[in-house]
A = this chain, B = another copy of it.
Amino acid sequence: MAIRGRPRGFNRDAALARAMEVFWAKGYEATQLADLVSAMGINPPSFYAAFGSKEKLFREAVDIYLTTVGSGTMKMLMETANAPEAIRAMLTASVGIALSNPGTGGCMVALGLVNCQLQNAELRAHMEALRQATVALIKRRLEHGVAAGDLPGAIDVDGLAMYFAMVIQGLSLQAQDGATRDDLLRIVSTAMAALEHARSV
């Protein structure tokens, strides 16, 4: 049997994409329902019927952020041949993302939920887990680089992975502070010295 009842008057995926942009631009807590429903072109009841709550919507928004906006960085990381080049490509992609933020600047995973209230601690933990996953991915790429001979076997892959994750987060904050593309790319080049140095040990 077909779907009963009045059909939904808006495109759920399109509305979700709009919501993602708003969350990305303003962060979870600074975004209010009024911003969301306005950007999505719907009213509160439609919102709650389709997405459940602000928090559930945010989780969905992060999901599509990762599979759309964010996927590029990880793709660069995993698919660029030489390990140092892969790291550089990832950071360069991060710069692009940080600057394409429709609002203040920065990566949604890095800055979407900083300094939250106790009531949102669980959501914050979710974001933190995503960031830890990034660290793990960088570490794996470095290990692969060592195995492939791109990097010396003596390097501290754990330390370097944390370092580059830190760089991604730092780039986001710099973007929020108004850094230009040229500024951020210069920072990336400087940051890459960590690997240049590791290679020459």
Contact = CB atoms under 8 A, between A and B. Distances in A.
A17 interface: no
Contact of A116 (B30, B156, B173, B174): B30
A20 interface: no
A171 B167 CA distance: 9
A71 interface: no
Contacts of A171: 166
A55 interface: no
A178 B127 CA distance: 13
A165 interface: yes
A187 B191 CA distance: 11
A115 B117 CA distance: 13
Interface stretch (A58-66, A75-83, A193-201): A193-201
A28 to B, nearest CB: 8
A110 B111 CA distance: 12
Contacts of A116: 30
A190 interface: yes
Contact of A163 (B27, B156, B176, B191): B191
Interface in A147-185: 156, 158-160, 162-163, 165-167, 169-171, 173-174, 176-179, 183
A109 B75 CA distance: 34
18 contacts: A26-B115, A26-B117, A27-B115, A104-B115, A110-B173, A112-B115, A114-B114, A114-B173, A159-B183, A159-B186, A159-B190, A163-B190, A163-B191, A169-B169, A169-B174, A170-B170, A190-B194, A193-B193
